[in-house]
Amino acid sequence: MGSLEHLERIQLNPENEDSASLPEDESSFVTAPTIEKEFLQSAKISNEDNNENDHEYRPVDDVYAMLATCAPYSKSLHYALFICFAQMFILLIFVVDQLKGATTSRFMNIPVMNTWIVISGQVLAIYATVMTASDITTSLDMFYVVYDENVEKHLPYASKWRWYASNCLRMIEGILSVIVAFLFIVQSTNNLELFQNFAAVSFVSELDNIAFYIAENGYTVVDLSKETANIKEHFVFKNQPKDKVVKKIQRQSLSCLMLVLYGFFLASIAVQLRGEVYNSTCQSFLVTFDIFEYDYFRFCDICPDAWKNRTDNIVYPNFNGVYIPKKFPNGNFDLSDEKRPTYVQSTQDEEGLTIIDVSKEEPRGIFKYCKFINAWVFTIEGVNKSPEDKDSCDWLMKSQATDEFDFNLVPKNNWDIWTGVIEKAIDLRIDCAECQAPYVENDEDSIATSSSNSLCNYHGKCMKESQLCRCDESSGYIGKQCEVCADCTAFVVSSAHEEFPRQFYHRINDINKEPVQVHNRPAFFKQIEKNELTPDANMVILLYTGNRWAFWNVTERFSGIEYEREVYWDKTLDILHKFHTQWDLRLEVVPFFSEPTRKVAPFNLKWTVGIEEGHDLDFECTSKPSERTCSKMLS
């Protein structure tokens, strides 16, 4: 402004002695306004030229800025390194913990299914994760910011390579934060859990900024306020070009990150909807019901004709057994019940656990989800509580209200059971029947190594494909976890009761010479000599009903069959394969049955003979070594 004032003074005081003399040529005379206009235009052009390179860039005030500027071996650098690596270590722990146990069918450890409310929350949380990923966008500055060596005048330990190194570390931390946040999001099963975890990750990702603030205000044990104040004042890069492409790159980077995250999220949703995640959860459940009964047959109005003449009750322990999910022929889960599997009472044959086709007169037990009452329920097709009860899925047992998709995670206590009135189940047990071992394939059968043998009680190995125990033949044990001793293959039964003569019983084996199991116990048949194989011979099987041991006379089942041992044997296996206590066995026509028990062997029990209770039957294993092996089971 001094030059302009001088020009004004020239114009206003032409006769001033100190003023410069004007040219005599009027054509060359320049007035003050003309000079001022040209000067301002020149200044504007000069200013525009300077504005192209007068942009300042100020790095973010965090511990990564301290890493780029603090002196080697200084306390401030040690402080920054500690915060930096502590932050990354916490995030890495989160990643390892979240991916522990992940499989191809359950990648990223996603839940088996989620409600649409939770999925909506996940969509919003992913957007928030990308929008708050400031460490990633800030670290991208190193690709277009020109390092200004002038900062080294006040920060002598700053250098170009340290500037790039600190930004690389910031980018790694930002990527880890996004990965951890994303894993927490896709693994969440409710919105409260989702946003709690999101807040926790956000806090960890901000530790670098929080630590700088603490040091700046002198809250650290060693005062670092001078170092941080120096960084805030002098860690500035001047003469930076104004490049509109920069913001565009940042926006594109965030857009790409968002697309990647939503891509993985949609892939996880697709896996859930196909039911593939259920392959990584328990698929077989060993169910043991309370000793409750329901007097249904006397009052059923709409029921099969075969039920109308029944005088017995529905005995819940008759439906004990292993329940497996319904699947389509291609192996995919049947998720027709609210995107949840339906578990059906199974039977076991030479190929393993299967669901057999049965008539409406002999339905199996079913566990499924009922949307009308928001609970998992146990039902028997054709059995209801009341004809007017239309909206409760005809439940006979139900869990407490839950929206859980994984049956293995449904609380097993406090179930309601229907006996004519609603009662509380006392001793209901629903256990995973699988060994679920950490598998190591070491042969063509993919049997797990000895590290998983404990899951089969050291009497067998855990199979990878079926996740069931394969009991060693030499061990003499059977059962879902090889917990039942079946080494006593033959025994003698005797009693002082005149209606029970001394008899020999042999264990029933299938075509693979493995024990036939009924309700997770071995079955035995009465020895019949060849000359006794006549129409008058009593065909008796000793088996476990799910609630008690019983001698079952199956002679009528062989009516009209040619009396050949092989034919009888095949028929016996077929009977046991399709056997169901509720529909095949009525205690009123069973001559001998034990007291209610969960013992794995029929030894040392009180028996009902005819209508007389409290009788003792003596069981003696024909093999003493086998008796010693099973001594704990037989006592």
Calpha distance 137→251 (Å, rounded): 9
What does each C-alpha distance from 189 to 96, 186, 550, 563 come to in angstroms? 20, 8, 46, 61
- H-helix or E-strand spanning residue 252: helix 244-273
* Gap between the terminal Cα atoms of the chain: 113
- Residue 45 vs residue 476, higher pLDDT: 476
Mean pLDDT (whole number) for 489-512: 82
Give ∠ CA 254-255-258 in degrees, rounded to 5: 85
Burial pattern 35-48, b for ≥16 Cβ within 10 A else e, equals beeeeeeeeeeeee
Nearest to 519 by CA among 365, 626, 409: 365
CA gap 78, 228 in Å, rounded = 14
Query: Is pLDDT of 25 > 80?
Result: no
Q: For residue 273, what are the β-bridge partners?
A: none
Residue 473's pLDDT is what? 78
Q: Which residues pair with 550 in a beta bridge?
A: 543, 593
Token duo for residue 161: 């390579």
At residue 515 the predicted structure's pLDDT band, cuts being 50, 70 and 90, is: confident
* Helix segments in 100-206, DSSP class H: 116-131, 134-139, 160-187, 191-205
- The rounded percent of the chain whose pLDDT value lies above 90 is 35
Cα(316)–Cα(312) distance, integer angstroms: 12
Domain ranges of the chain: 2-51, 63-277, 281-432, 482-634
177-228 pLDDT, tens per residue?
999 999 999 999 999 999 999 999 999 999 999 999 999 999 999 999 999 9
Can you tell me the mean pLDDT for 50-72?
Answer: 82
Helix (H) or strand (E) holding 36, with range, is: helix 32-51
Look at 44 and 430; give whichever has higher pLDDT: 430
Tell me what pLDDT residue 105 has. Answer: 65
Q: What angle do CA 58, 64, 68 make, to 5 degrees?
A: 75
161-170 per-residue burial string, b: 16 or more CB within 10 A, e: under 16: ebbeebbebb
CA-CA distance, 89 to 95, in Å (whole number)?
Answer: 10
DSSP label at residue 516: P
Side by side, which strands form the sheet with 503-507? 612-616, 606-609, 592-594, 549-553, 540-544, 524-526, 503-507, 490-494, 618-621
Q: Each residue of 276-322: pLDDT tens digit?
A: 888 888 888 999 998 899 998 887 777 888 888 888 889 999 999 89
The pLDDT, as a whole number, for residue 37 is 45
Which among 91-95, 234-238, 521-525, 543-547 has the top mean pLDDT? Answer: 91-95
User: How confident is the model over 568-582, as a mean pLDDT?
Assistant: 84
* The token pair that represents 34 in the structure block: 């003309």
Question: Structure pTM?
Answer: 0.75
Alpha helix (H) ranges present in 52-149?
A: 63-69, 75-99, 116-131, 134-139
Among 303, 301, 321, 302, smallest CA distance to 582 is for: 321
Out of 166-175, 195-204, 383-392, 572-581, pick the least confident.
Answer: 383-392
pLDDT at position 79 is 96
CA 154 to CA 574: how far, in whole Å? Answer: 92
Burial class (CB in 10 A: 0-12, 13-18, 19+), 485: buried
Cβ(316)–Cβ(325) below 8 Å: no
Neighbour count for residue 73 (Cβ, 10 Å): 7
Q: What angle do CA 517, 521, 524 make, to 5 degrees?
A: 75
Average pLDDT over residues 545-550: 89
Predicted confidence at residue 85, as pLDDT, reads: 94
Asked if 548 and 529 touch (Cβ cutoff 8 Å), the reply is no
**For residue 264, pLDDT beyond 90:** yes
- Rounded CA-CA distance 302/528 in Å is 43
